[in-house]
Amino acid sequence: MSVDSNTYYWEKDILLLQGNCLDLIPRIKKESVTSIFADPPYNLSNGGISCKAGKMVSVNKGDWDKSKGFEEDYKFTYNWIKLCRNILKPNGTIWISGTPHNIYQVGYALQSLGFHILNEISWFKPNAPPNLACRCFAHAHETLIWAKKNKKAKHKFNYKLMKEWDDKISLKGKQMRSIWNIPLTSQKEKLHGKHPTQKPIELLKRIIASSSDKNDLILDPFNGSGTTGVVAKQLGRKYIGIDMDKNYLDLTIKRLK
């Protein structure tokens, strides 16, 4: 994608764009992206409460995370995934994270658009906060759906690398399982600032290392704090990140540097 008025930051192999992903994804070259990681709004900011560092806090993340109703939420989900499909290489794959608030809409949209689901990964959080309401089980995981463009596509999967990965559940040298034991984002990863839904570096390392090679192009349509870009740079990939919020793009630049 060329540098233009939506370019917020550019360096070798890194491009950050400010704006709505629905407007900017179509301007990326068709079938140019190897792997997409998307951490879309979960639509869980409903005025409820949660626990953080032993204190009661609001679950509200911002206006961008508030539900607009089932139909509008699904329409948005379907539209951005459809745009992502157009820019994925024939052998490219997409990863999307979520919780019960949004992940079933994501799965339905993917299958409606012809994607073939490869895995449903459970990201288990060993240090997840307790459930203060005590009316259901404590939420201790998020779901990641990994999918390719269609069932016949020959997708990239670095199988041997994942067999040797120390993931605390699978024995080294054995097939990596679909349950990933990864703690919540550490304070060390928030030295330059933080995002309310910031993902840990280890999570993105597995995603990017498993489904792409050096010099491949990675896209994150909901850049947030830029963890995807940080890991892409560490692993020698090219990266495009899109976000509407200038403050989070500034945070991403600090982390990249």
The DSSP annotation for 49-80 comes to EEEETTEEEE----GGGS---HHHHHHHHHHH
Across the strands, what pairs with 119? 146
pLDDT at 60 (0 to 100): 52
Per-residue pLDDT band at 223 (split at 50, 70, 90): very high
Q: Looking at residue 98, which CATH number applies to its domain? A: 3.40.50.150
pLDDT digits over 30-49, tens only? 999 999 999 999 876 555 54
CA dihedral for 222, 225, 229, 234, sign (positive or negative): negative
Asked if residue 1 belongs to a domain, the reply is no
Least confident of 57-61, 201-205, 236-240, 250-254: 57-61
In angstroms, what CA-CA distances link 208 with 59, 62, 182, 251?
A: 29, 28, 15, 21
Share of the chain above pLDDT 90, in %: 74
Q: What is the pLDDT of residue 149?
A: 97
Range 226-234 average pLDDT: 98
- 116's tokens: 């073939």
Q: Among residues 197, 195, 202, which one has the least CA distance to residue 230? A: 202
Angle between helix 201-211 and 227-234 (nearest 10): 50
* Residues 84-126: tens digit of each pLDDT: 999 999 999 999 999 999 999 999 999 999 999 999 999 999 9
The reply to whether 96 falls in a domain is yes
Q: Average pLDDT for residues 196-217, to the nearest whole number?
A: 96
Residue 222 has pLDDT above 80, yes or no: yes
Q: Which two structure tokens, joined as six digits, stand for 136?
A: 């259901």
pTM: 0.90
Asked whether residue 251 is assigned to any structural domain, the reply reads yes
Antiparallel, parallel or unpaired: β 49-52 and 14-18: unpaired
Mean pLDDT over all residues of the chain?
90
* Non-local CB neighbours of 181 within 8 Å, separated by 6+ positions: 124, 126, 167, 168, 169
Residue with the bigger pLDDT between 237 and 168: it is 237
Write out pLDDT tens, residues 7-20: 999 999 999 999 99
Q: What digits encode the pLDDT tens for the residues 157-203?
A: 999 999 999 876 666 778 999 999 999 989 998 989 888 889 999 99
Domain with 150 in it: 7-256
What's the confidence (pLDDT) of residue 48?
56
Task: Say if residue 6's pLDDT is above 90.
Answer: no
Residue-level pLDDT at 206: 97
- Report the DSSP pairing between strands 238-243 and 14-18: parallel
The alpha carbon torsion through 43, 103, 107, 87 (nearest 10 deg) reads 60
Whole-number Å distance between alpha carbons of 98 and 37: 12
| Rounded average pLDDT over 143-147 | 98
Name the residue with tokens 């032993």: 54
Q: Looking at residue 93, what is its pLDDT? A: 98
Contact between 98 and 143 under an 8 Å Cβ cutoff? The reply is yes
Query: How many domains does the chain contain in total?
Result: 1
